[in-house]
Amino acid sequence: MAERPTSETITDLVHEKSVEILQEVGFCVPDDNVLALLMSAGFPVFRESKMARITPGLLENALMTLPKDVRLHHRSGELLACFGNESCFMGAGTPVNVFDLNSGEHRAATWEDVCQLVTIQDALPQVDIVRPTVTATDLGPASDLVEIAESLRNTSKPVVHRTLSSDRVEAAVEIVFAVAGGADAFRLHPNFATVYCPISPGYFTPENIHCMLRWAANGIPITLLSMAMGGASAPATLLGELIVINTDILAWIVVLQTLYPGTPLLYGSVSAMLDMRTGLLPLGAPERGMINSGAAMMGRYYGIPSMCGGLSSDAKELDAQAGFEKVNTAIPLLMHGADIIYGVGATNAGSTISYTQMIFDDEIIAGVRRMWQGIPVHDVSEEVALIKSLTPKGNFMSAKHTLRNYKKHWYPGIISRDTYETWKEKGETIESLCRRKAQDIVANHQPVRLSANIEAELEYIIRQHLPDFRFHNR
């Protein structure tokens, strides 16, 4: 009987099997020029099938040049302190639908939604990394440039986004560098990372490949983000699916490190297990957090940060299902030390962004972060003295010790701890509280703005792709 892998050996096993697949079968590179590049770099290349394979030498070099000290910064240059030390939380995205801020109506997302959703993420204390979270469907194909620019100008937190056409990567890079104050300033304190997804198993579209190579040439961090669907684009077991995830990512770690050694890379997975009743991809399922915790393990194995899909839900409104699924899909990622938990604001299986869910997610994160601290070990001499002096039947509320310590516990901003009578009298629901809070942030929160000349420069860059483009609220 074959030896059963233990949790300690999962990472070794998954790596070993990925290497086996990449050496025996390889991965598809559907572009002759890139294939030629790979061939001259030493990859075994098969022109007809457009497949490339890795060699032990290429793998060894790639893992050596792969940067192990990837950091993210605020726009100010300040280090994102939580990154690398605990799980950071990031906005979801980027679907084409949103539940309207005021009416709750399900509709196509717009440029204005991007600005508002980024502003809210800027204001929410538990959101560490910002995404546009929706696609500005009113702007056409070049909306990605506006989404990047609006993210960088409506928050000073680190931003993650991408372009969908290689024609726009240079403009996107110009935007990122302009905001940072030049290429060198950016590379010293990167406040932006991009993200690209393979089609599992073993395929990247030519357009995504061209985009990645352009970003890599500019030294901008890239997330390789698997979107495997267990039971459809990957095996139906968690371990089998993890092998597909890892194989797809490892292939491009080797490619990008070989062609552009030292490119900062992140290990990402927003994978899930297909629902065989409907053929839909449920993102609130327990398996969602479970499979993506595998990415956290593999990221650590290679020494690079992980970005893992969780804090997810299939709910259509802010209800019991949303609460259950959001927490349930975040816990495995916290448990396995995911560097980035990717999901703030998403609902309806990631297909819709919800303003109210985004506000409530901030509350959930604060609660689970507190829970994750466990019972801290410290000197208890003061507590013991206090207990002795108050035994029996003493009251600890008037003790100075209580005054100094009670605020370490979590106090909710939204959920109700009221008595039934008070709750009834207030007549507030979680939904109505979250909506009011979202409206309040949109009306009143002032993100730290970029200087007028940088904003003008961004407009100039975007106009090459969107004639007459102007920011609305300059």
Partner 1 sequence: MNDEIYQKLAQAIIDGEPEDAEALAQQALEQGIDPLECINQGLVKGIQKVGELFANGDYFLPELIIGADAMKAALDVLEPSLLEGQKREVVGKVVLGTVKGDLHEIGKTLVGTMLTANGFKVKDIGVDKEPQEFIAAIKEMDADIVGASALLTTTMLQQKKLINAIEEAGLRDKVKVMIGGAPVTESFAKEIGADGYAEDAISAVSLAYRLMDAPL
Residues that bind partner 1 (CB under 8 A): 95-97, 107-108, 135, 137, 141, 164, 199, 203, 205, 229, 231-233, 276-280, 351
Min separation Cβ 278 and partner 1, Å = 5
Please report which helix (H) or strand (E) contains residue 184, including its range.
helix 183-188
Min separation Cβ 232 and partner 1, Å = 5
Min separation Cβ 150 and partner 1, Å = 17
Residue 277 or 472: the one with the smaller Cβ distance to partner 1 is 277
Q: Where are the alpha helices (DSSP H) in 406-451?
A: 420-426, 430-444
Residue 23 or 110: the one with the smaller Cβ distance to partner 1 is 110
Q: In what order do the strands lie in the sheet with 106-108?
A: 106-108, 97-99, 352-354, 346-347
Min separation Cβ 382 and partner 1, Å = 57
Q: How many residues are listed for the chain in this entry?
A: 474
Distance CA(34)–CA(49), nearest Å, equals 14
* Tokens of residue 147, six digits: 């989404």
Q: Where are the beta strands (DSSP E) in 201-278?
A: 222-226, 229-230, 265-269, 272-273
Min separation Cβ 314 and partner 1, Å = 13
Of 143, 145, 136, 103, nearest to 117 by C-alpha is 136
Packing angle of the helix pair 238-259, 286-302 (nearest 10 deg)? 40
Residue 80 or 234: the one with the smaller Cβ distance to partner 1 is 234
Residue 7 or 278: the one with the smaller Cβ distance to partner 1 is 278
Min separation Cβ 322 and partner 1, Å = 20
Q: Decide: residue 361, CB within 10 A, 0-12 exposed, 13-18 middle, 19+ buried.
A: buried
Residue 291 or 433: the one with the smaller Cβ distance to partner 1 is 291
Q: Where are the alpha helices (DSSP H) in 1-45?
A: 7-24, 32-40
Min separation Cβ 1 and partner 1, Å = 27
How wide is the angle at C-alpha 54 spanned by C-alphas 19 and 69, nearest 5°?
Answer: 75
Dihedral angle over CA of 454, 455, 458, 463, nearest 10: -140
Distance CA(197)–CA(204), nearest Å, equals 7
Residue 276 or 385: the one with the smaller Cβ distance to partner 1 is 276
Residue 126 or 351: the one with the smaller Cβ distance to partner 1 is 351
Rg (CA), the chain: 24
Residue 154 or 348: the one with the smaller Cβ distance to partner 1 is 348
Report the SS3 class of residue 52: strand
Q: In what order do the strands lie in the sheet with 27-28?
A: 27-28, 51-52, 45-46
Q: How far is the CA of 458 from the CAs of 70, 118, 143, in angstroms?
A: 27, 17, 14
Residue 142 or 330: the one with the smaller Cβ distance to partner 1 is 142
Residue 110 or 351: the one with the smaller Cβ distance to partner 1 is 351
